[in-house]
């Protein structure tokens, strides 16, 4: 969630434009909104935590993208893939988050 929050904070205009495009093009968003998707990706990839999530969670995100391509009119059917990706992203943010180590301990790893 932190990475999504970081992305939302850093890339709010891009995400908003992409979201509007997807909502306006339910049957063809994957084609019509491709350039906006790239702008979100480009914006997000500038943040180290997001880069780490993209690297560590590429399998689950790829499965989600594949599901969306195969079911362009039934994106809700891809929610298990979203859950897998969010779980992976959460694990990455927790692993990389210094806030979770008790005060006085230096984080190893």
- What's the pLDDT at 49? 78
- What's the pLDDT at 78? 84
C-alpha closest to that of 40 among 22, 13, 65, 20 = 13
- What's the pLDDT at 35? 93
Q: State if pTM tops 0.85.
A: no
What are the boundaries of each domain within the chain? 1-46, 47-95
Number of Cβ within a 10 Å radius of residue 107: 11
- What's the pLDDT at 34? 92
**With helix as H, strand as E and coil as C, how does 46-69 read?**
CCHHHHHHHHHCHHHHHHHHHHHH
Question: Tens-of-pLDDT digits for all 109 residues of the chain?
Answer: 666 677 777 788 888 898 899 889 888 888 999 999 898 888 877 878 778 887 898 898 888 888 888 887 777 788 888 888 888 888 887 876 655 444 444 444 4
């Amino acid at each position: 969630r932190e990475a999504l929050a970081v992305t939302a904070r850093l890339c709010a205009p891009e995400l908003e434009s992409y979201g509007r495009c997807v909502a306006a093009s339910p049957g063809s968003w994957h084609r019509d909104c491709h350039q906006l998707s790239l702008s979100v990706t480009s914006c997000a990839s500038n943040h180290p935590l997001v880069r780490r999530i993209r690297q560590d969670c590429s399998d689950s995100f790829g499965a989600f993208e594949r599901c969306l391509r195969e079911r362009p009119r039934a994106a809700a059917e891809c929610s298990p893939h979203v859950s897998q990706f969010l779980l992976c992203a959460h694990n990455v943010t927790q692993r990389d988050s210094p806030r979770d180590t008790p005060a006085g301990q230096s984080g190893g790893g």
